[in-house]
């Protein structure tokens, strides 16, 4: 009787796993219809000649720029929250604000970015407006990730530095931060992977369907894979294999960033015995 119960129970537990597997297979199946259109030359050929060069580079520009803006702000905010603010009211308010920020739907963030950065600050449809809007989405991820990484560092490291006569900031930047750096970088990469396919945030703020070459300044609009997919499917009604080819490229970019983060994490786990 017990044996039967167990079998039934495991069967029930297995169903969600099967659903996930089926979904992944389904995605791969759909994407694979685009494989036939992929050529290495596509990556290096201009859009004007039927390639996707500007889209790939544009996507990377947006990602790197957004992370570039979000990283210093996010890391400093996390240091403040972990090391300086005592668990007072102010820290709780910031904490709650971050939770809310992470929960804002991306289309709302995009709308805010459009009205605030593009219109009010006059950045227009530009890469810079896209960076700032994406930053709003990455910031909670980076702050939370950095907080986690900082909390993993044993307090004995900081105590050792303080006992030698180091100031608090000195102890943080010469001991705590270097030890936490791999964890922080891992989390930044994961944040990057999360927003790499983000469409709504750049929809109104920074993208156009076609540009002549790459943007020459942050104030120029940019092409991006996700935006291109969105317009081709919804506006132009294209659903050819070519669209799926673009989707594969975007998918691979996301997966490789996430993979890099995981490899980095495994490598440093091994080198940092206090994480074990």
Partner 1 sequence: MVKVEIRNLNVWFKTNHVLRNINLKVKENSVTAIMGPSGCGKSTLLRAINRMNEIIEGCRTEGEVLIDNQNIYDKNTNVYELRRRVGMVFQKPNPLPKSIFENVAYGVKIHRMTSGSKIADIVKRSLEEAALWDEVKDRLNDSALTLSGGQQQRLCIARALAVNPEIILLDEPCSALDPIATAKIEMLIRKLSEKYTVIIVTHNVQQAARVSDYAAFLYLGELIEYGPTRQIFENPRNELTEKYITGGFG
Contact set with partner 1 (CB under 8 A): 86, 154, 156-157, 159-167, 170, 174-175, 178-179, 272-274
Among residues 181 and 233, whose Cβ is nearest to partner 1? 181
Integer distance in angstroms from the first to the last C-alpha of the chain? 41
| Distance in Å, CB of 271 to partner 1, minimum | 8
DSSP string, 171-191: HIIIIIHHHHHHHHHHHHHHH
Cβ closest to partner 1, residue 16 vs residue 273: 273
Q: CA 184 to CA 164: how far, in whole Å?
A: 26
Minimum Å gap between C-beta 85 and partner 1 is: 11
Sign of CA dihedral 126, 118, 78, 189: negative
C-beta of 91: minimal distance to partner 1 in Å? 13
Q: Least distance from C-beta 149 to partner 1, angstroms?
A: 14
Q: Nearest distance from residue 182's CB to partner 1, in Å? A: 11
CB of 154 to partner 1, least distance (A): 8
Nearer to partner 1, 216 or 276 (CB): 276
Please report the DSSP string for the chain in residue order.
-HHHHHHHHHHHHHHHHHHHHHHHHHHHHHHHTTGGG--HHHHHS-GGGT--HHHHHHHHHHHHHHHHHHHHHHHHHHHIIIIIS-SSHHHHHHHHHHHHHHHS-HHHHHHHHIIIIIIIS---SSHHHHHHHHHHHHHHHHHHHHHHHHHHS-HHHHHHHHHTT--HHHHIIIIIHHHHHHHHHHHHHHHHHHHHT--HHHHTTTB-S--SSS-SSTTS-B--HHHHHHIIIIIS---SHHHHHHHHHHHHHHHHHHHHHHHHHHHHHHH-GGG-
Hey, what are 11's tokens? 């069967």
CB of 167 to partner 1, least distance (A): 6
- Residue 134 or 185: the one with the smaller Cβ distance to partner 1 is 185
């Amino acid at each position: 009787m017990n044996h039967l119960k167990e079998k039934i129970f495991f069967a029930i537990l297995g169903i969600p796993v099967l659903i996930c597997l089926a979904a992944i297979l389904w995605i791969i199946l759909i994407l694979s219809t685009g494989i036939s259109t992929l050529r290495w030359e596509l990556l290096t050929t201009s859009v004007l000649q039927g390639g996707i060069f500007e889209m790939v580079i544009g996507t990377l520009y947006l990602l790197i720029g957004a992370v570039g803006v979000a990283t210093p702000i996010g890391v400093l905010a996390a240091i403040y929250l972990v090391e300086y603010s005592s668990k007072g009211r102010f820290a709780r308010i910031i904490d709650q604000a971050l939770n809310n920020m992470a929960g804002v739907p991306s289309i709302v963030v995009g709308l805010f970015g459009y009205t605030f950065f593009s219109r009010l600050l006059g950045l227009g449809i530009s890469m810079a407006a896209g960076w700032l809007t994406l930053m709003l989405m990455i910031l909670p991820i980076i702050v939370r990730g950095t907080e986690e990484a900082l909390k993993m560092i044993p307090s004995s490291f900081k105590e050792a530095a303080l006992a030698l006569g180091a100031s608090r900031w000195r102890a943080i930047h010469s001991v705590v931060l270097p030890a936490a750096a791999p964890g922080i970088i891992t989390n930044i990469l994961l944040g990057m992977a999360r927003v790499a396919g983000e469409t709504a945030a750049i929809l109104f703020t920074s993208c156009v369907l076609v540009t002549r070459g790459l943007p020459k300044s942050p104030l120029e609009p940019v092409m991006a894979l996700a935006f291109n997919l969105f317009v081709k499917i919804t506006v132009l009604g294209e659903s050819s294999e070519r669209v799926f080819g673009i989707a594969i490229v975007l998918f691979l970019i996301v997966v490789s960033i996430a993979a890099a983060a995981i490899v980095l994490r495994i490598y440093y786990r091994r080198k940092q015995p206090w994480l074990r």
